[in-house]
Amino acid sequence: MLDATSPTCAACGAPLERVRYFPRQLITADDMRTEQHYVLERLKRHNRFLHGFGVVCGCQVVAAPTDASPWLVQICPGYAVAPPGDEIFSPDPVTFDLQTGVQAPDPCTVAWPCPPVPVGAANAQQLVGYLCIAHAECVTRPVRVHPAGCGCDQLDCEYSRIRDAYQLKLLWTLPPSHTAAKAWDSAWAATLTKSREVLRQGGLPVPPCMACSDDGWVVLATIAIPPTQGIGTQATKTPIASANISFLDRRVLLSTGALQVMTETFAGV
């Protein structure tokens, strides 16, 4: 059982509200957004508390250097769940330049609000970065807005759809959500180890809730940036290779199917 020194269970999020419909009710855009918010937040809360976060399948990172982009990597299609509970789905392969931060193709119609920060032009030693993915939304399908009456704004347009997408970024420190998750894993494992006798008697300690996090990044790979020789136009970059990519800091979230196969496999050992 958890002792008195265990951290207080903190449940993320606020109570949700949904629209109560009644006859002769005037439905506005705000009511429809409230309905969407309710459903989306319920799904995120389900993912966060019942499943956790991490890479569920795919999202392998492989070296794909070219003469023009020696630090280019390719991310394979896959599915992941972000720490806040957002689903991240990448249906097609995408390339990411570790030097410029450019991904192609870009699943969003709206560009990243800030320009990517390039890696330094010269580094005698290897830099270690964390290639991460996060959920993003894009507005799409612009439509003409009906005039208000005078016709003054008849040329105005609005986007009629919101597309689920994703974004990639190279971080130089491990995301706080992953650091907290590692601490949670260790604490829960220690609690289970101390509670073996209770488990034999049929009891099971209740785990604390994982720490709340607004950090939406999921680590796909830890990458050691190859050293660069020279400065300026004479700089020569060593192409990225498979040996520079590791998955030790990637958090894997096993699906029910994967857990079933793993259980059956280990049961037969």
* Block residue for tokens 């004479």: 234
Domains of the chain by residue range? 29-111+120-134+166-175+215-231+238-257
CA-nearest of 78, 106, 73 to 90 is 78
Structure tokens at 67: 């003469």
Return the structure tokens found at 195.
């509670």
Across residues 30-53, what is the average pLDDT? Answer: 93
The encoded tokens of residue 81 equal 């769940």
Please state the pTM of the whole predicted model: 0.82
**115-137 burial string, b = 16+ CB within 10 Å, else e?**
eeeebeeeeeeebebbbbbbbbe
Helix or strand holding residue 45 (H, E) = helix 29-46
* Side chain identity, residue 191: T
| Choice between 75 and 265, residue whose per-residue pLDDT is larger | 75
Average pLDDT over every residue of 98-112: 75
| pLDDT digit string, tens, across residues 125-159 | 557 899 999 999 888 888 877 776 665 555 577 78
Q: pLDDT value at position 175?
A: 94
Q: Is the pLDDT of residue 197 over 70?
A: no
pLDDT-based confidence at 5, cuts 50/70/90? very low
Other Cβ atoms less than 10 A from the Cβ of 73: the count is 24
- State the pLDDT at residue 47: 93
Write out 122-179 in H/E/C secondary structure: CCCCCEEEEEEEEEEEEEEEEEECCCCCCCCCCCCEEEEEEEEEEEEEEECCCCHHHH
- Structure tokens belonging to residue 207: 């785990």
Least Cα distance to 92 among 140, 138, 58, 134 occurs for 58
Residue 269: pLDDT band (50, 70, 90) is low
